């Protein structure tokens, strides 16, 4: 338990109880990194713990609560829809409405398949890319996260990138080429050498998971051209950026269209839904049965009701201007705090998702990110949590549609108090 346990007696008691039947007391290893706080409820941008503490939330459940906690329109839509059954082993009309909305909101894809997690959507994209190209290898990039399965989980060790977990099959990484991101020349060289064996290039179009780093000007365009000229499928993993950076995600923001893209998180306001979207000529291969994509819970009534209600909200009341204002002011406020406390606090990225750390290095990829003092921020993040700001230790802050002036004030006041006591 990282945070001062004496301050959270009920959470501590529940954690002990949870640990008896749940390894580590958590259901996702990502949560092993955080303080073991138990929450009673969430409302908009606020969380309330079982110990009666409130937290202004900039973690958003690792991103999904883009509309804040318990957005009433979505809660009601899901509740209404699920009164008459949630899964039929056949089709229902909400699937059509949700799919139509995904395609019309994003504008570029013709078709979509729903699934439950981002990890699955990525795997479906790989299989489809391999099927349509008849090739096996996939190019991916340092620091990009694409889920927890054997062929995508990676850590940087003394011998380069390799397995990140005991029990993970190293052989599943054999078909992956790992390159530095934001370096189109390196990609061009690899594609020139072995393009005929490369099925796909996959990337987070903004590297949100490690440092919230934007693509350099022209980089995505060049990647697009290289993929097209080598017959390689370009996959954007928009699990975090989709619907968050704008209605049409990173593809819209940077004006580059992938062949396939994965979505989740902001797609359904916290309900477990992911999607693989793409051009019809590729996606149709699922429909013919030639390429298998399955899942008992795919496209459930609950999932598609949540997608429909979330996307209608985003379409009819786009929150992006407010998020831009809030995130910009919050980043500026954090930088000002750094100046007034005489510490090199760095807040960089985009208003909807940004990265806080210490240092002033120029950061364009995973390796340059390591020049920042990430460990020092991890320590600060723990102190921020103790002062009622719910953030991840890896430095990524997410802003929701419900964060407003009250939360800005609360966050900066609590941040300042944290620095006063922590430094
Ligand atoms: C870019 C990206 N891809 C894939 C995933 C995996 O999604 P999930 O955790 O829903 O399996 C994540 C999760 O954070 C992600 O950020």
pLDDT tens digits for 25-82? 999 999 998 788 999 999 999 999 999 999 999 999 999 999 999 999 999 999 999 9
Ligand 1 atom having least distance to the Cα of 209: 16
Distance 146 CA to ligand 1 centre (A): 6
Query: Is the Cα dihedral 104, 311, 242, 276 positive or negative?
Result: negative
Distance 119 CA to ligand 1 centre (A): 6
Pocket probe for ligand 1: among 29, 264, 271, 272, the residue whose CB has the most ligand atoms within 8 Å is: 264
* pLDDT at 2 (0 to 100): 47
Distance 340 CA to ligand 1 centre (A): 36
CATH code of the domain occupying 72-316: 3.40.640.10
Tokens 């190209």 correspond to: 133
CATH label, 5-67+319-422, candidates 3.90.1580.10, 3.90.1150.10, 3.40.50.150, 2.40.280.10: 3.90.1150.10
Distance 163 CA to ligand 1 centre (A): 17
Q: Is 119 in the pocket of ligand 1 (CB under 6 A)?
A: yes
Rounded CA-CA distance 220/402 in Å is 31
Cα angle vertex 141, ends 124, 260, to 5°?
A: 30
Outline which parts of the chain fall under CATH 3.40.640.10.
72-316
* pLDDT at 133 (0 to 100): 98
Q: Is 269 in the pocket of ligand 1 (CB under 6 A)?
A: no
Outline which parts of the chain fall under CATH 3.90.1150.10.
5-67+319-422
* pLDDT at 251 (0 to 100): 97
* pLDDT at 212 (0 to 100): 98
Q: Is 353 in the pocket of ligand 1 (CB under 6 A)?
A: no
Mean pLDDT by 10 residues, the chain (423 residues): 68 97 96 92 98 98 98 98 96 98 98 98 98 98 98 95 97 97 98 98 98 98 98 98 98 98 98 98 98 98 98 98 98 98 98 98 96 98 97 97 98 98 96
Q: Is 265 in the pocket of ligand 1 (CB under 6 A)?
A: no
* pLDDT at 361 (0 to 100): 94
Residue burial 379-388, b: 16+ Cβ < 10 Å; e: rest: ebbbbbbbbb
Q: Considering only CA atoms, which residue is closest to atom 4 of ligand 1?
A: 146
Q: Is 403 in the pocket of ligand 1 (CB under 6 A)?
A: no
Sheet holding 137-141, edge to edge: 111-115, 274-278, 260-263, 233-237, 198-203, 137-141, 176-179
């Amino acid at each position: 338990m990282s945070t001062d346990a004496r301050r959270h007696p009920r959470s501590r008691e529940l954690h002990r109880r949870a640990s008896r039947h749940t390894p580590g007391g958590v259901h996702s290893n990502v949560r092993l990194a955080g303080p073991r706080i138990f929450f009673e409820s969430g409302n908009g941008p606020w969380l309330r713990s079982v110990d009666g503490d409130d937290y202004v939330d900039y973690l958003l459940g690792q991103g999904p609560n883009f509309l804040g906690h318990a957005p009433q329109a979505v809660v009601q839509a899901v509740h209404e829809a699920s009164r008459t059954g949630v899964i039929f082993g056949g089709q229902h009309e909400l699937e059509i409405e949700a799919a139509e909305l995904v395609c019309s909101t994003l504008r570029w894809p013709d078709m979509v398949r729903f699934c439950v997690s981002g990890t699955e959507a990525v795997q479906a994209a790989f299989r489809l890319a391999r099927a349509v190209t008849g090739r096996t290898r996939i190019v991916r990039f340092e620091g990009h996260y694409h889920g927890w399965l054997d062929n995508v989980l990676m850590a940087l060790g003394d011998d380069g990138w390799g397995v990140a977990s005991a029990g993970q099959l190293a052989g599943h990484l054999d078909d992956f080429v790992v390159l530095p991101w934001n370096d189109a020349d390196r990609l061009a060289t690899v594609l020139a050498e072995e393009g005929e064996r490369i099925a796909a290039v996959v990337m987070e179009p903004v590297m949100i998971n490690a440092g919230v780093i934007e693509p350099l000007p022209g980089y995505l365009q060049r990647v697009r051209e290289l993929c097209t000229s080598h017959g390689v499928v370009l996959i954007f993993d928009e699990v975090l950026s989709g619907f968050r950076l704008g209605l049409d995600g990173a593809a819209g923001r940077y004006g580059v269209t992938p062949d396939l893209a994965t979505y989740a998180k902001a797609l359904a306001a916290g309900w477990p839904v992911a999607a693989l979207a793409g051009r019809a000529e590729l996606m149709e291969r699922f429909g013919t049965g030639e390429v298998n994509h399955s899942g008992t819970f795919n496209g459930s009534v609950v999932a598609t009701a949540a997608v429909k209600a979330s996307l209608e909200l985003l379409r009819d009341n786009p929150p992006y201007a407010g998020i831009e204002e809030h995130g910009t002011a919050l980043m500026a406020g954090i930088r000002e705090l750094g100046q007034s406390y005489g510490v090199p606090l760095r807040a960089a990225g985009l208003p909807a998702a940004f990265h806080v750390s210490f240092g002033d290095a120029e950061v364009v990829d995973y390796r340059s990110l390591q020049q920042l003092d990430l460990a020092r921020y991890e320590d600060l993040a723990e102190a921020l949590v103790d002062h009622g700001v719910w953030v991840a230790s890896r430095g990524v802050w997410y802003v929701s549609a419900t964060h407003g002036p009250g939360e800005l004030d609360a966050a900066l006041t609590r941040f300042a108090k944290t620095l006063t006591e922590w430094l």
